[in-house]
């Protein structure tokens, strides 16, 4: 929740008209949207934020964080928020007896965004196309997929993969690559998935496989 209307990039009406606060009272929610915060390390995005003019602090919902797969713990007078991989995303210091979140403070801006969750699952699913990822989510094709953003930033690996000459057409390149990664990792390559480019379909390469 935020009281600062200027923080919202998009704001629309919400079905949630009232919000219960700690003392049992209810205050009005005037909208719901996306907050965009400009910092020296770039613009940060938080989705599903309620606009509540009558509060005097910006608040993060522990329940919503847990629903989205985040881990929340309280230690050393701080609230620690970690992502689904266990990496620290945000640490909010206790003020008085509450944890007030000020998104404009530079020390508190390293949180994991919904867009980054989308990028993470894009990679987990083998650099799956965004439309297919959204279809997987919509059809509930397997469990554990969080709410994904409808936007996906440019993926460097995908951009490189679309280039015609990532591997030159002389087959020694892959052999050297295979030897290097197997030596460094101590494991053998088990599968090879290619785009059926000529460098992968030659008689010489098939004999090598």
What's the whole-number average pLDDT of the chain? Answer: 76
pTM, 2 dp: 0.42
| Short-list 48, 42, 56, CA closest to 4 | 56
Of 93 and 163, more confident: 93
Q: What is the pLDDT of residues 155-203, one digit of tens each?
A: 767 776 665 544 455 677 888 889 988 988 889 999 888 888 787 888 8
What is the predicted pLDDT for the residue at 164? Answer: 53
| Short-list 178, 157, 172, CA closest to 204 | 172
Q: What is the pLDDT of residues 15-37, one digit of tens each?
A: 777 777 767 778 888 888 888 76
The torsion angles phi and psi of 160, rounded to 5 degrees, stand at -65, -40
Confidence of residue 41 (pLDDT cuts 50, 70, 90): very low
Confidence of residue 108 (pLDDT cuts 50, 70, 90): very low
Q: How far, in Å, CA of 58 to CA of 46, rounded?
A: 12
Proportion of the chain in helix, strand, coil states, percent, rounded to 5: 30, 25, 45
* CATH entry 3.40.50 includes domain 5-112: no
Neighbours of 145 (CB within 10 A): 17
Domain residue ranges of the chain, discontinuous segments joined by +: 5-112, 114-162
Cβ atoms 185, 154 nearer than 8 A: no
């Amino acid at each position: 929740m935020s009281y600062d209307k200027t923080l919202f990039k998009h704001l629309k009406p919400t079905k949630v008209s009232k919000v219960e606060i700690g003392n049992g009272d209810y205050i009005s929610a005037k909208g719901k949207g996306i907050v965009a915060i400009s910092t020296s390390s770039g613009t940060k995005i938080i989705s599903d934020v309620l606009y509540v003019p009558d509060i005097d602090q910006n608040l993060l919902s522990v329940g919503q964080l847990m629903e989205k797969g985040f881990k929340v713990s309280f230690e050393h007078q701080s609230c620690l928020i970690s992502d689904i991989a266990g990496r620290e995303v945000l640490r909010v210091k206790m003020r008085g007896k509450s944890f007030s979140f000020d998104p404009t403070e530079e020390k508190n801006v390293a949180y994991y965004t919904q867009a980054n969750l989308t990028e993470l699952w894009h990679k987990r699913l083998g650099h799956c196309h965004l439309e297919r990822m959204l279809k997987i989510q919509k059809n509930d094709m397997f469990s554990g997929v969080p709410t994904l953003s409808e936007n996906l930033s440019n993926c460097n690996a995908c951009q490189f993969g679309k280039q015609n000459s990532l591997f030159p057409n002389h087959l020694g390149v892959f052999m050297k690559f295979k030897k290097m990664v197997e030596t460094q990792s101590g494991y053998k390559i088990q599968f090879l998935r290619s785009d059926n480019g000529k460098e992968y379909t030659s008689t010489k390469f098939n004999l090598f496989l």
